[in-house]
Amino acid sequence: MRDTFRLAEVFTISRGSRTEAQVLTVSVTRDGATGRGECVPYARYGETLESVAAEIAALPDGIGRGELQDALPAGAARNAVDCALWDLEAKLAGRRVWELAELATPGPEITAFTLSLDTPERMQAQAAKHAHRPLLKIKLGTPDDMARLEAVRAGAPEARIIVDANEGWSAEVYADLAPHLLRLGVALVEQPLPAGEDEALRGLARPVPICADESCHDRASLAALDGKYDMVNIKLDKTGGLTEALALRDAARDAGFDIMVGCMVGSSLAMAPAVLVAQGAAVTDLDGPLLLAEDRDTPLTFDHRGVHPSDPALWG
């Protein structure tokens, strides 16, 4: 089912602006119980609501999570079904997903709050409004990046800041900006170079850690990241669900990468499984519901301790 959630404000990144979040909600009903999952198709990967719905509709009835991993590639379609199946299993078993997955009982995780791309003056005002938040994220990747970053730091002098360049820089631009990023207390930079051109990062001095986003989808991505990145951003819409996300987290840690857990702009239903992956992560960026004017029934709780695990009425 296609669902639309209005955003609290116009949200802009270097690739464009939006006023609503369009998501696909999947429900799987068996033996009197219904499990739900949500995905956000991403045009960057050639996905649309229609193409993802078609992938899901073509799946055989009664498919299990194990079979699903081979039936669909990593991506939004598999994510929604995988998370719905986890939710279904939990409801049928009368247990929480983290128990079924043999994970420790989860707790709240401090999450980033993303500032929309705007003029430096307006971004400074946004930063001042949200200066009480411990972690702010800035979407950059434009010729005016430094002016915006300086403005945000002026508006929120105490906040930790992370930067998402959205594939908008080159190795030379990163090297030129790195001293300024350090001076302004930037904790990390996400995906500074286009995923297909990130070989230039190999061997580059990285005084500010670099996190792979578009360059990291699932475990098969990891081998190509060594020597180029310090951290990987795990998003369920990229991994194709909670099953692969948990496996990627463990494999990435074993390979020496720090962990970031991120999201597309979606509802609490999309964030709920990711909260489990985010336990103990170096950076959590699950602020999708904070950007919405409306959310699911029984939404996730966000407070000074961060984003909390879901109520079973929502998921898991």
Question: At what angle are helices 171-183 and 145-155 packed, to 10 degrees?
Answer: 20
Contact 125, 134 (CB under 8 A): no
Contact 310, 268 (CB under 8 A): yes
User: Where do we find the tokens 């519901």?
Assistant: 289
Give one word for 241, left, alpha or beta, with left for phi > 0 and alpha for psi -120 to 50. Answer: left
C-alpha span between 214 and 121 (Å, rounded): 29
Residues annotated as catalytic are 139, 235
The two tokens of residue 315 are: 């998921």
Contact 281, 109 (CB under 8 A): yes
Per-residue CA distances from 269 to 26, 102, 107, 111, 236 (Å): 11, 21, 17, 16, 12
Contact 6, 293 (CB under 8 A): yes
Mind giving me the DSSP string for 165-195? Answer: -TT---HHHHHHHHHHHHHTTEEEEE--S-G
